[in-house]
């Protein structure tokens, strides 16, 4: 009979039926929770989530969509939009409209995100059995940040669970190292890096870690070539995709560095001091900050490489001028997993110091994580995030249900064809002159202002209203995409 808490528990022990049920349960719970902020009550973190991936996937599947400056000049890889396009196409086969194809996309992303929770469970089970696995999975499954970011279409949110899979496959403590595991770990590690080039320090860290292990234990040397082959395969695929879509290999990686670092385009969106992430985490997590970091430090005793990877991500992003909280989500996910392992370790220690059975300690730990997660989810720091841009999504989605739309305008707000799903001209109205000039080109208007006299308000979603006028649309060309001065200078080679 497998003990529910044990120092001698090993990964070699085959999983019992109840453990398989527990693993499936934590996966399903994590999967379902991540659909809440993306499908049940959809929200956006910012415009990048829409235009950098979902809109481009819509272009691939349906042939039309907005083109942001990054895809205008070629600083983004098509790997992520291409993968999302596959699920978008599948959703469109199931039913007609944004609800189906976006539902399919976010279900796939939620499933990918839930694999991190499964890895946490398996790590916890490795050392502490069934209850240890459930406790280890509780923080990455239930903590609001993991739920909020988990199923997003942003590159950092997609790369995060892929990075966790890489570290799990490369963990010698989980299973005896084999060429297949090393190759898979290298493939995932390379894929996470090409999706999010800011994760390159983690790639360097893992290679240095493996080099040290190679010198210490030459018995595992046979597994190192597959690791390098997996990384090379991921980078080779990325180079091929760029060659097929942009013209030459690795164009998106180089131009991203050229525009955002050498020409300072990213800095035009704002810069922050090096302490931004550390102070931001302290403020955002509040009372949870010391608790999680103490538990993560304890978990780092069992999982040193994931903790070091989180530190590398935080350090690398701290020296980059343009900072946003979402950029460090891969580090946050690794911290939460390490903290879950630390909590399982602490619970096991309390259990071994007591003559009582382990179950009360385990249930108390799980209940504590659930209660604290709910309190943080309802806190003043998280409440605004759950409804971020929800009104915009609702208003834009309402356009998809209108008949005979011949043009769409946005005054004081924006939209996206991924929600409009109408192949008609779209006008970004930046001022009153553009409104006056382009008004006859569209018959549907999204606005935060009082609509023009010939438009009738159909419905309002918060402060965004959908208005419509009768009649046809004049063939007025939409204004070309706006390129900032740094982007134009970089494009001209200045």
CA–CA dist 85, 216 (Å, integer): 45
Tens-binned pLDDT, residue by residue, of the chain (494 aa): 334 555 445 544 577 889 999 999 999 999 999 999 999 999 999 899 999 999 999 999 999 999 999 998 999 999 999 999 999 999 999 999 999 999 999 999 999 999 999 999 999 999 888 999 999 999 999 999 999 999 999 999 999 999 999 999 998 776 666 788 889 999 999 999 999 999 999 999 999 988 887 777 654 555 578 999 999 999 999 999 999 999 999 999 999 888 888 878 887 788 899 999 999 999 999 989 999 999 999 999 989 999 999 999 999 999 999 999 999 999 999 999 999 999 999 998 887 765 566 678 889 999 999 999 999 999 999 999 999 999 999 999 999 999 999 999 999 899 899 999 999 999 999 888 899 899 999 999 999 988 998 999 999 999 999 999 999 999 999 877 766 666 666 666 66
408: enclosing H helix or E strand: strand 408-411
Residue 43 pLDDT: 96
In DSSP terms, 459 is beta-bridged to 466
DSSP conformational letter for 274: T
Residue 356 pLDDT: 61
CA-wise closest residue to 140 among 304, 36, 283, 26: 26
Torsion of CA 125, 126, 129, 135, to 10 degrees: -40
Polymer length in residues for the chain? 494
Residue reference for tokens 């000039």: 437
CA-wise closest residue to 365 among 133, 25, 114: 133
User: Is 0.85 surpassed by the pTM of this model?
Assistant: yes
Residue 235 pLDDT: 97
Q: What's the Cα-to-Cα distance from 254 to each of 81, 231, 251, 261, 417, rounded to whole Å?
A: 19, 18, 5, 10, 29
Copy the structure tokens of residue 306: 């994931």
CB atoms within 10 A of CB 197: 18
Residue 355 pLDDT: 52
Residue 178 pLDDT: 77
Residue 431 pLDDT: 87
Residue 492 pLDDT: 66
Pairing between β-strand 456-461 and β-strand 408-411 as defined by DSSP bridges: unpaired
Contacts of residue 362, Cβ cutoff 8 Å, sequence gap at least 6: 4, 5, 131, 132, 134, 135, 347, 351
CA-wise closest residue to 91 among 103, 76, 108: 103
Domain limits, the chain: 17-386, 390-468
In DSSP terms, 408 is beta-bridged to 426, 444
| DSSP helix/strand/coil, 56 | helix
| DSSP helix/strand/coil, 110 | helix
Q: Which DSSP string corresponds to 410-475?
A: EESS---HHHH---S-EEEE-SHHHHHHHGGG-SEEEESSPPPTT-EEEEEETTEEEEE-SS----
Cβ–Cβ < 8 Å for 88, 58: yes
CA-wise closest residue to 73 among 455, 493, 362: 493
CA–CA dist 388, 427 (Å, integer): 23
Residue 2 pLDDT: 38
Cβ–Cβ < 8 Å for 149, 157: yes
CA-wise closest residue to 396 among 376, 373, 423, 414: 414
CA-wise closest residue to 289 among 423, 492, 145: 145
CA–CA dist 439, 429 (Å, integer): 9
């Amino acid at each position: 009979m497998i003990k529910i808490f044990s120092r001698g528990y090993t990964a070699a022990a085959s999983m019992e039926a109840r453990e398989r049920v527990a693993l499936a349960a934590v996966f399903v719970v994590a999967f379902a929770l991540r659909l809440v902020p993306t499908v049940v009550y959809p929200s956006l973190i910012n415009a990048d989530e829409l235009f950098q991936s979902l809109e481009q996937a819509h272009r691939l599947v349906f042939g039309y969509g907005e083109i942001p400056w990054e895809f205008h000049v070629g600083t983004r890889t098509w790997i992520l939009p291409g993968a999302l396009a596959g699920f978008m196409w599948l959703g469109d086969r199931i039913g007609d409209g944004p609800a189906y194809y976006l539902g399919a996309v976010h279900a796939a992303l939620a499933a990918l995100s839930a694999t991190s929770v499964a890895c946490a469970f398996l790590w916890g089970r490795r050392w502490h059995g069934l209850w240890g696995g459930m406790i280890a999975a509780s923080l990455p499954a239930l903590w609001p940040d993991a739920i909020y970011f988990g199923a997003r279409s942003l590159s950092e949110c997609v790369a995060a669970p892929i990075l966790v899979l890489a570290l799990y496959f490369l963990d010698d403590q989980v299973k005896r190292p084999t060429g297949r595991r090393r190759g898979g770990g290298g493939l995932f590690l390379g894929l996470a890096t090409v999706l999010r080039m800011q994760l390159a320090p983690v790639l360097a860290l893992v290679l240095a870690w493996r080099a040290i292990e190679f010198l210490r234990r030459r018995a595992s040397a046979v597994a190192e070539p597959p690791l390098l082959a997996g990384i090379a395969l991921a980078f080779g695929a990325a180079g091929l995709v760029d060659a097929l879509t942009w013209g030459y290999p690795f164009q998106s990686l180089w131009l991203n560095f050229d525009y955002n670092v050498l020409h300072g385009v990213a800095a035009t969106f704002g810069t922050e001091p090096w302490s931004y992430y550390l102070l931001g985490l302290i403020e955002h997590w509040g009372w949870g900050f010391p608790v999680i970091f103490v538990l993560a430090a304890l978990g780092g005793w069992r999982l040193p490489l994931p903790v070091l990877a989180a530190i590398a991500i935080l350090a690398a992003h701290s020296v980059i001028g343009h900072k946003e909280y979402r950029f460090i989500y891969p580090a946050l996910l690794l911290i939460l997993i390490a903290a879950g392992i630390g909590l399982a370790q602490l619970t096991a220690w309390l259990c071994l110091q007591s003559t009582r059975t382990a179950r009360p300690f385990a249930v108390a730990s799980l209940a504590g994580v659930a209660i604290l997660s709910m309190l943080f989810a309802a806190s003043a720091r998280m409440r605004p995030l759950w409804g971020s841009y929800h009104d915009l999504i609702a208003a834009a989605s309402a356009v998809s249900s209108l008949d005979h739309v011949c043009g769409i305008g946005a005054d004081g707000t924006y939209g996206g064809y991924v929600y409009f799903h109408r192949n008609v001209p779209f006008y970004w109205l930046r001022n009153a002159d553009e409104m006056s000039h382009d008004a006859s080109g569209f018959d549907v208007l999204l606005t935060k202002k009082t609509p023009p006299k010939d438009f009738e308000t159909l419905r309002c979603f918060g402060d965004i209203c959908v208005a419509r006028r009768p009649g046809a649309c004049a063939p007025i060309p939409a204004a070309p995409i706006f390129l900032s001065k740094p982007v134009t200078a970089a494009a001209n080679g200045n």
